[in-house]
Structure 1
Amino acid sequence: MNNKKTNSKQQSNKKASSSAIIVVLITLMIAIASGNSQAAAASAELEKVLKHKVETEKLSVGVAVAIIESGQVSFINVGVANKEMVQKIDQNTLFEIGSVSKVMTSTALATFVDEGKLKLSELVQNYLPKSVRLPMKNDKAITFESLANHRSGLPRLPSNMPFGDPLNPYVDYTTEMMYEFLNQYTLPREVGESPEYSNLAVGLLGHTLAKIDNMNYEQMLMQRVLKPLKMNDTFVDVPKSALTRRSKGHNGNLETTDYWQLPAMAGAGAVVSDVSDMALFLKANMQQNELASAIKLTHQPTAEFGNSHTKVGLGWIIQGTADGDVYMHNGQTGGFASFIGFNPTLHKGIVILSNTSILMDEIGYSYLTNSLASLKLTTPVKVAEVELAKLIGRYELVPGFILSITHDENKLFVQGTGQPRLPLTANSINEFVNNAVKARIQFELDADGIATSLTMYQGGQTLPGKKLK
């Protein structure tokens, strides 16, 4: 009789355990389904915004985007890589990523630290040729950390760049020129005192790390970052076998322009990649992987970056928001723009690669803060030539700086004193924009529709201008 009771109890326990397992599985399946549904909804909303920005607002010829939503990776491709051949963008299209390269360079630095081969506080001077003397201020010397977090005191660009080719401005700047500049430069402030975004600093960082490994920059990055993360389609010098996948670059007027080469400062912006590889890099910054320890170091805030809500890690800019910290960086060359970012709190990440030099940061940041719905989507309108003629004239913003407004048939143009002539796109009969320079111009009209003044909005500034007679 006792055996029967025992068996009955065991069977009841088994049934209870089975029921519990079923409940857990159902809960897990619901959670997965919910996560997939959220990811699909976020992807659909983002795709709608991207298509409008590319096809209607003409902010890019083509974009490739990767998003990570609750662990799920998805891709969105809009537009073309080559207008002449109508070659569509896909996940294997190669883009210049510009200054997003800086995050990779800083990740390489973190691997040195993780191995015990370097300390962030070590002096960069100790790893350069004796003929090179880095500047100091009040006996404070440039460290590896100060190069990675833009607090070295070095300027954005060295003043001895020849700029022989305006469409490829770094190509003729050599390592010898960089050394010459560093030898004669005087720091305007102490190392670590305050931030100044510096291509030179991160270029010097990449150069120095490569020298320590006795390699060139691409080889060093390949060994330390790209191979461990299986990023097999990321390069500095694109091999012949991959050239057919390389997108054309376009300026802000959507005209084809030249690729950039940065022989002396490769670490600041020379990397070329596709969105599939960049998704791997993004995922590595959000999940465990072979480089987790080094990557975690790059996420640690090292100092404020402009204000108390913005900090800088190693490469990463960290923006505090109501929805958690957003880690991000953008990039821009003469023909490309890029954005990478992630929000650990919301388990969201995004990479945007564009083959046009107009920045797409607003889209990336809005996605990471669940605010895509608040983005302004504008639709250009056609304004009759007779109405455009009522806007032409010369408008003085400040003494000595005049905006000349002209028109050519059904197109309006603006030209500032000493600046090139730029086309304007109409949002309405009296509001026009140029996306290349992120400028918006609004005209004040009289009862007959003739402009009497204008206001230009650019870079956070509001600049009114009276029409000159």
Structure 2
Amino acid sequence: MKIIVSVVILLISNQLAFGQSREKKIDSICQAIQNKNPEVAISIGFIENSKEYFFNYGKISQESDFKVDENTVYEIGSITKLLTANLIVQAQDERKLKIVDFIDNYLPKEYMLSEKIKGKLKISDLASHQSGLPDFDFGQLIELNPKQPLDISKEAIHSILNDSTKLSDYGNYRYSNISYVLMGIILESIYSKSFDELVKEKILVPSKMKNTLTTDFNVKNKVVGHDINGVEQDYFVWNSLFAPAGLLKSNTSDMSKLLKTLLSNKGKIGKATSVTEKTFYKNTQMEIGFGQEIERNGNDTFFYKAGDTFSCSSIFAYDRKSNWGIVIMINHKNSDLIRELINTIYEQALR
């Protein structure tokens, strides 16, 4: 499997996994990996045929005596985009928009596209990272605010939209945060509600996700995050503009509930998922849905979305045919470790 490419799969003895149930295999694999990385807290939620299993290793901080559990909060970063995309499709189901519509028709007047790119960008281009719009300059944002670079302003968005006179490589994949910021602006405009209100009303409450946090994440049971060098790092503060691109905080209990909702095909969220799972972009290396990525392995197809912040890394994946789902969260920005975990679990326990 190549959920994220260029990964060397950790080889665990086949004798260790032989004859074990999937959940016991996952525990054995993760325990071995955590033993190699004792400073990292790892929380995993696994769903198989609607039954939930949770695996937790490590403490909420290196100084704490409290161990992480399924209720421990982490930053989930760009997994937020999966929820934003689902909200957009729900809006289509409610006939408030069509995902093939041009975005010009839905942006508030204060956000202006130049004449040269009006009538060219569809909502589906945003969701599948094909817009060709320039993204935020994170180097510049970090210089301006090293601790909280995502505390962006309307002026930052205005400058990108107003100054863009061409779309670079339109129709090709280029990962884009500005696209999901614009999707959030569109949602707020058509519903006359904040993204915070919408995600709670249309996803968190129906899925009974009581501990997925938005504006207020001042809770005791949350991990202390660490940057790529292992230095303690603050969580990103809630910024209403950037939020749809990656500012939710959650735990494996809540995200497992979301997995069950997606796999059930029930309700408005489940109905919207049938659209988010369609292919909107494909080349020889990747296949992109509406807010998530698609992986095919023989006759098997599964969907996933990874998330990285300055303090945490995570991944959310599910396989409809085999009826399993998994979410992995760690308290370090370490996408390599997330790759090692998900690929080893898949190869050793889920195939």
TM-score class, shorter-chain normalisation, is 0.7 to 0.9
Cα offset for 1:131? 3.3
Query: What SS does the corresponding residue of 2:35 show, helix, strand or coil?
Result: helix
Tell me, yes or no, if the aligned pair for 1:252 and 1:357 is still in contact at 8 Å: yes
Note the 1:359-438 alignment, pairs <5 A: 359=335, 360-368=338-346, 370-371=347-348
Q: Which residue of 2 aligns with 1:155?
A: 134
In structure 1, distance between residues paired with 2:289 and 2:305 = 11
Note the 1:323-338 alignment, pairs <5 A: 324-338=300-314
In structure 2, distance between residues paired with 1:347 and 1:129 = 41
Tell me, yes or no, if the aligned pair for 2:225 and 2:331 is still in contact at 8 Å: yes
In structure 1, distance between residues paired with 2:256 and 2:19 = 15
Q: Which residue of 2 aligns with 1:70?
A: 49
Q: Which residue of 2 aligns with 1:346?
A: 322
Tell me, yes or no, if the aligned pair for 1:63 and 1:355 is still in contact at 8 Å: yes
In structure 2, distance between residues paired with 1:232 and 1:342 = 21
Q: Which residue of 2 aligns with 1:287?
A: 264
Amino acid at match of 2:223: S
Cα offset for 1:273? 0.7
Q: Do structure 1's residue 215 and structure 2's residue 167 form an aligned pair? A: no
Tell me, yes or no, if the aligned pair for 1:161 and 1:170 is still in contact at 8 Å: no
Mean Cα displacement is larger for which, 262-271 or 103-112? 262-271
Tell me, yes or no, if the aligned pair for 1:39 and 1:70 is still in contact at 8 Å: no
Q: Which residue of 1 aligns with 2:274?
A: 296
Q: Which residue of 1 aligns with 2:85?
A: 106
Say how many residue pairs are matched. Answer: 330
In structure 1, distance between residues paired with 2:89 and 2:124 = 10
Distance 1:239 1:332, change over 3 A: closer
Cα deviation per residue 1:189-228 (whole Å; 9 max; x = unaligned)?
A: 464x211110111122122212322222111111121111
Cα deviation per residue 1:359-405 (whole Å; 9 max; x = unaligned)?
A: 2033224434x44599xxxxxxxxxxxxxxxxxxxxxxxxxxxxxxx
Distance 1:131 1:203, change over 3 A: closer
Q: Which runs of 5+ in 2 are unaligned?
A: 1-17
Query: What SS does the corresponding residue of 2:264 show, helix, strand or coil?
Result: coil
Query: What SS does the corresponding residue of 1:65 show, helix, strand or coil?
Result: strand
Which has more radius of gyration?
Answer: 1
Note the 1:26-37 alignment, pairs <5 A: none
Distance 1:160 1:93, change over 3 A: closer
Query: Which residue of 1, 24, 27 corresponds with 1:44?
Result: 24
TM-score w.r.t. the length of structure 2 is 0.86
Distance 1:135 1:350, change over 3 A: farther
Tell me, yes or no, if the aligned pair for 1:329 and 1:340 is still in contact at 8 Å: yes
In structure 2, distance between residues paired with 1:64 and 1:174 = 34
Mean Cα displacement is larger for which, 69-78 or 122-131? 122-131
Distance 1:57 1:162, change over 3 A: closer
Cα offset for 1:45? 1.8
In structure 1, distance between residues paired with 2:86 and 2:154 = 22
Query: Which residue of 172, 178, 181 corresponds with 2:157?
Result: 178
Query: Which residue of 65, 70, 86 corresponds with 1:86?
Result: 65
Q: Which residue of 2 aligns with 1:278?
A: 255
Query: What SS does the corresponding residue of 1:120 show, helix, strand or coil?
Result: coil
Distance 1:135 1:363, change over 3 A: farther
Query: What SS does the corresponding residue of 2:59 show, helix, strand or coil?
Result: strand
Cα offset for 1:88? 0.8
Query: What SS does the corresponding residue of 1:88 show, helix, strand or coil?
Result: coil
Q: Do structure 1's residue 250 and structure 2's residue 230 form an aligned pair? A: no
In structure 1, distance between residues paired with 2:257 and 2:97 = 26
Query: Which residue of 125, 129, 143 corresponds with 1:146?
Result: 125
Cα offset for 1:100? 0.5
In structure 2, distance between residues paired with 1:121 and 1:51 = 46
Query: What SS does the corresponding residue of 1:206 show, helix, strand or coil?
Result: helix
Distance 1:262 1:145, change over 3 A: farther
In structure 2, distance between residues paired with 1:349 and 1:373 = 10
Q: Which residue of 1 aligns with 2:103?
A: 124
Query: Which residue of 155, 166, 173 corresponds with 2:146?
Result: 166
In structure 1, distance between residues paired with 2:306 and 2:321 = 21
- In proportion to residue count, which structure has more strand? 1
Query: Which residue of 166, 172, 175 corresponds with 1:194?
Result: 172
In structure 1, distance between residues paired with 2:30 and 2:227 = 18
In structure 2, distance between residues paired with 1:276 and 1:218 = 20
Cα offset for 1:309? 5.8
Query: What SS does the corresponding residue of 1:285 show, helix, strand or coil?
Result: helix
In structure 2, distance between residues paired with 1:347 and 1:76 = 19
Tell me, yes or no, if the aligned pair for 2:29 and 2:345 is still in contact at 8 Å: no
Q: Which residue of 1 aligns with 2:245?
A: 268
In structure 2, distance between residues paired with 1:373 and 1:204 = 37
Distance 1:239 1:309, change over 3 A: closer
In structure 2, distance between residues paired with 1:317 and 1:178 = 26
Q: Which residue of 1 aligns with 2:11?
A: none
Cα offset for 1:113? 0.9
Distance 1:127 1:84, change over 3 A: same
Query: What SS does the corresponding residue of 1:195 show, helix, strand or coil?
Result: coil
Q: Which residue of 2 aligns with 1:55?
A: 35
Amino acid at match of 2:24: A
- What value does the CA root-mean-square deviation take over the aligned residues? 2.5
Tell me, yes or no, if the aligned pair for 1:248 and 1:355 is still in contact at 8 Å: yes
In structure 2, distance between residues paired with 1:353 and 1:39 = 27
Distance 1:187 1:110, change over 3 A: same
